[in-house]
Structure 1
Amino acid sequence: MEQRHFSGKSHWYHETQSSLCPADVQPLVPEAAHADRFLLDLALSPEQLAEEQPWITAARSASETLLPESVCVNRMHTLSSYDRLSTALTVAQVYGVQRLCNHYAARLAPQPGPDSSRESNRRLTQITQYARQLASQPTLIDNASRTQLDEVGLSVNDIVTFNQLIGFIGFHARAVAVWQALQGLPVRWLPGLDTLQDAPAELFTTAGASWAADLPAVELRYAQTEQLEVLSISQPLRPLQGMSWLLAHDAPALCALSQLIRLLWQPAPTQTDEQTLVMLLSARINGSPSCFTEAALLWRGDSGLPDAVRNGERALQAWSHNHPRERAIIQAVQMLTRAPDRFSAAHIQPLLEQGFSASQALRLLVSSGLFGWLNRLKVGLGSQA
């Protein structure tokens, strides 16, 4: 393949085979690099900031953990700043939320890219392909996909961090999309772009699906103090049970995720049926049978709902016909999960009409991004049957 000796990072759709970038390359919106790491350039009222500050602070911490200003690369941690930011931009492109694309394109532009050797090109191509697939079609990821990451030099630590990063960008995209919708800001919509397709129904035919890691977890005898400390926080959290020892390969990322779960996920018995419905929808669309099974066990409402979600769009529409409150949630979560770039104020309005406050609607919808993150960790790091 012909080597490309120029950088394509001055626009969203960057060239994956790029050499060191020229000094004069500028992103389309250079000032976007200096925006708040999570809220970007969205202006919130003092009341909103005060009410949502805890989880916003945790989300900002997750961003700074996964996408720091500089990265110390070594044999066990090979993901450079360029690798991380190019992955963030790739995933942002999949979801199409313009603020996200502007931000990560602006941060990527000044980064020195890899050399133009065959090995570097293959590595970057493989990373980009995996990130795009896990973001847009999670069910395409399997053990062969993980093996390909290993073949291009990613360690187990790298693979865990990589999957955490992809999950976080999906969460970030949906949080920003909800904030924009609540403020009535116009959305970007380009005809012809595919939306996320629901996972095949065959994945959900077996009740009681469980999850098993396909990568080695941290062994207790080798665990570092930081890992043991974060495990004491993460293991009691139900969404992370069974995954914590694997995710502990990147202790700071696991800590950030645990904090967000504690702030946005309501454990039983305070778990609301509304949030359980969001869990069911997210798992069904993204293709995580074990997450679906977990949500079905938590559901305390109409017994027909889990089967309706399992059986697909027509069955769910029929069930929701006599459940207007749940119907409003279903329509909003489906749009936000499948096409966050098209999510607008019109999709939040039915929730407000059903009695949700703006803050309640925000928390419920942002939690769908969190569940999507967890879905992708299950798909990316293990097998479900």
Structure 2
Amino acid sequence: MEQRQILGKNHWYHETQSSLCPADALPLVPEAAHADRFLLDLTLSPEQLAEEQSWINAARSAGLTLLPENVTVTRLHTLSSYDRLSTALTVAQVCGVQRLCNHYAARLAPQPGPDSSRESNQRLTQITQYARQLASQPTLIDSTSRTHLDEVGLSVDDIVTFNQLIGFIGFQARAIAVWQALQGLPVRWLPGLDTLQDAAAELFSAEGAGWAADLPPVELRYAQADQLEAVSVSQPLGPLQGMHWLLAHDAPTLNGLSQLIRLLWQPAPGQSSEQKLVMMLTARINGSPACFAQAAQQWAEENGLPEAIRNGDRALQAWSHNHPRERAVIQAVQLLTRAPDRFSAAHIQPLFEQGFTPSQVLRLLASAGLFGWVNRLKIGLGTLVQPSRLG
């Protein structure tokens, strides 16, 4: 049967199988394709730009690495521009942030879609399903999910890049949501979309959980210069502990993620405990026991907090009753992690009341999106190791 190339989809909810569409199909908001690749069409004051320029540039660079204008497909790197942009749109849909959906829908529309063969349809279906699950309910992803990606032709390099892309779009959605809230922009979300449900408490029953890669890492003897450099840069960073050689399959993206962690993970004076609180909260909601254990071990404040987070909302509410500053952080991070499309100016007002500045709010909450990215890398690329098996 003759294969055919078709235009990309012109709406947010793209199908997972090829179908004919008119040659003049246009996205809903075509001008959104030309917005800034990270900030989209948000405008910042000169003062804000000066204060946040370093990590904005790092985020923009990471986005350009994962979603370049042109992609050369090879045997080891099979993710096409269409694959990447349809994945970005899928994650944007899950997050529900409208300007993000507009942007990736507009960029996807002119891309030639895959041919109409059964193999291509299976591949796109599997990619879309995996992206939606990792973005919306990460604990659904397991070794079987990774096997399915392998079965439809994704290489180890592809799978690493694919998980990085899903994590990045989730981070971008939450950063945009915080900016919109700081600017007092109206919140609009699509009706009927469920919020992210917290991971089961049973995952966090054992203290000191570890993590092991479920895919082969880059071997030192075969590592290229850019991979060696990326590993060297990332090794001192705690959130990436144990993942360096696996993430080195996509060295440019590892460099971008490392730079973002250095710029956002390093807390402002007096905010170290709040960063660890954010790390524990995002790991608990997304379902990454290894990330949670790492942050809990570093927690040096009141002993009851890690246990309260581990036990769920009711215990956490009871703990935070006499901790108004932490309660403001907890409430904001929980909503931003579960439903970025519903995050508004009202949800950051308690932080201002506790003395946070706009820049502190932005960086603290953007780091929640960044930790969510790392959570998904741990879940998507490896497995939980119980403490008794750690050696």
TM over 0.5: yes
CA separation of 1:188 and 1:357: change in aligned 2, threshold 3 A: same
SS class of match (1:211): strand
Residue 67 of structure 1 aligns with which residue? Answer: 67
Amino acid of the residue matched to residue 17 of structure 2?
Q
Residue 172 of structure 1 aligns with which residue? Answer: 172
Q: Give the 5 Å matches for 1:40-189.
A: 40-189=40-189
Amino acid of the residue matched to residue 46 of structure 1?
P
CA displacement 1:106-152 (0-9 Å, x = unmatched): 00000000001000000000000000000000000000000000000
Amino acid of the residue matched to residue 204 of structure 2?
F
* Mapped partners of 1:241, 1:268: distance in 2: 22
Amino acid of the residue matched to residue 335 of structure 1?
L
Q: Is the 8 A contact 1:137 1:197 kept in 2?
A: yes
Q: Is the 8 A contact 2:4 2:115 kept in 1?
A: no
CA separation of 1:271 and 1:354: change in aligned 2, threshold 3 A: closer
SS class of match (2:113): coil
Amino acid of the residue matched to residue 379 of structure 1?
I
| 2:196 is aligned with 1:205 | no
* Mapped partners of 2:324, 2:226: distance in 1: 47
* Mapped partners of 1:4, 1:346: distance in 2: 50
CA displacement 1:314-350 (0-9 Å, x = unmatched): 0000000000000000000000000000000000000
More displaced, 57-66 or 270-279?
Answer: 270-279
* Mapped partners of 1:230, 1:292: distance in 2: 25
Q: Is the 8 A contact 1:227 1:248 kept in 2?
A: yes
* Mapped partners of 2:269, 2:31: distance in 1: 46
Residue 13 of structure 1 aligns with which residue? Answer: 13
Q: Is the 8 A contact 2:208 2:293 kept in 1?
A: yes
Q: Is the 8 A contact 1:65 1:252 kept in 2?
A: yes
CA separation of 1:79 and 1:95: change in aligned 2, threshold 3 A: same
* Mapped partners of 1:192, 1:6: distance in 2: 30
CA displacement 1:81-121 (0-9 Å, x = unmatched): 00000000000000000010000000000000000100000
Residue 368 of structure 2 aligns with which residue? Answer: 368
* Mapped partners of 1:268, 1:288: distance in 2: 25
Shift of 1:6: 7.4
Paired residues in the alignment total: 383
Shift of 1:268: 12
SS class of match (1:384): strand
Shift of 1:191: 3.9
Shift of 1:270: 7.8
Amino acid of the residue matched to residue 319 of structure 1?
W
Shift of 1:231: 1.1
SS class of match (1:43): coil
| 2:329 is aligned with 1:329 | yes
Shift of 1:236: 1.2
* Mapped partners of 1:373, 1:144: distance in 2: 21
Residue 388 of structure 2 aligns with which residue? Answer: none
Q: Is the 8 A contact 1:7 1:18 kept in 2?
A: no
Residue 299 of structure 1 aligns with which residue? Answer: 299
Amino acid of the residue matched to residue 200 of structure 1?
A
Q: Give the 5 Å matches for 1:337-376.
A: 337-376=337-376
Amino acid of the residue matched to residue 309 of structure 2?
V
More displaced, 14-23 or 316-325?
Answer: 14-23
Amino acid of the residue matched to residue 315 of structure 1?
A
| 2:6 is aligned with 1:38 | no
* Mapped partners of 2:8, 2:280: distance in 1: 40
Shift of 1:18: 1.9
CA displacement 1:39-64 (0-9 Å, x = unmatched): 00001000000000000000000000
CA separation of 1:46 and 1:327: change in aligned 2, threshold 3 A: same
* Mapped partners of 1:8, 1:156: distance in 2: 26
Q: Is the 8 A contact 1:328 1:354 kept in 2?
A: yes
More displaced, 348-357 or 265-274?
Answer: 265-274
Q: Is the 8 A contact 1:10 1:28 kept in 2?
A: yes
Amino acid of the residue matched to residue 61 of structure 2?
S
Shift of 1:301: 1.2
* Mapped partners of 2:315, 2:298: distance in 1: 21
SS class of match (1:212): strand
Q: Is the 8 A contact 1:142 1:379 kept in 2?
A: yes
* Mapped partners of 2:204, 2:190: distance in 1: 32
